[in-house]
Amino acid sequence: MSPEPLTAERILEATEEVLRRHGPGKATVVDVARALGVSHGSVYRHFGTKAALREAVTKRWLDRTADELRHIAGRREQSADGVLRAWLAALFAAKRQKAGGDPELFATYEVLLDGSSGVVAAHLADLVGQLTVIVEAGVARGEFTAVPGGAAATAEALFHATSRFHDPAHAPEWSRPGIGDAFEATVELLVRGLTATAGREPGRSRGH
């Protein structure tokens, strides 16, 4: 009655399916076990806790996006400006697609996200790391000027400055009409800031 061996991978697939069917609130590990035709005790052999199972399935979901972006960040044949724009656009597009394509599943993962802070932190660190690579490449070419604090601080600033276009908390805005223009405007402003002439005095005039 067990055609294939019970592997972590199969459990994760079944979990995704159960989550898609029942939603985050009503998906139990008994449901997952039933979908696989095994007892729930067997699931606990692979994932010691329900939270661990949810985190694993969340990680998988996040990694899919991160891997998609990684190869853009690695491009060297293009101007840093172009790579940065492409990467940010791809990030926005990926998130928008996930939110717009299957809203219920997206809502499910939104719930899962704030139960797996460690996984999310790692994901965000990964993305900021990719941005850091892009910024460093741009600085090396003399195209970009990093802010005081270096490429890592610059990447973090870029990431947070664009959070309206990738943070799930802002997902409701992504279907608004002017959002594409707002994205363009923000990216334009940030790219201008990065490509500002290096020799110029950064302007540290204090506020009051």
Binding residues for a second copy, rule: CB under 8 A, are 72, 79, 81-83, 85-87, 89-90, 145, 147-149, 153-154, 156-158, 160-164, 169, 181-182, 184-186, 188-197, 202-203, 205-208
Query: Least separation, in Å, of the C-beta of 5 and DNA?
Result: 6
What's the start-to-end Cα distance of the chain, in Å? 76
Query: Least separation, in Å, of the C-beta of 126 and a second copy?
Result: 18
How many C-beta neighbours within 10 Å does residue 131 have?
25
Q: Kindly tell me the burial class for residue 105, based on how many C-beta atoms sit within 10 Å of its own C-beta (0-12, 13-18, 19 or more).
A: middle
Question: Is the distance from CB of 98 to CB of 61 less than 8 angstroms?
Answer: no
Partner from a second copy, DNA, none contacting 162, C-beta within 5 to 8 A by type: a second copy
Q: How far is residue 24's CA from residue 11's CA, in Å, rounded to a whole number?
A: 16
Nearer to a second copy, 133 or 147 (CB): 147
Partner from a second copy, DNA, none contacting 5, C-beta within 5 to 8 A by type: DNA
Q: In the numeric block, which tokens belong to residue 48?
A: 């010691």
Nearer to a second copy, 10 or 75 (CB): 75
Nearer to DNA, 45 or 141 (CB): 45
Nearer to DNA, 24 or 129 (CB): 24
Q: Kindly tell me the burial class for residue 99, based on how many C-beta atoms sit within 10 Å of its own C-beta (0-12, 13-18, 19 or more).
A: buried
Partner from a second copy, DNA, none contacting 3, C-beta within 5 to 8 A by type: none
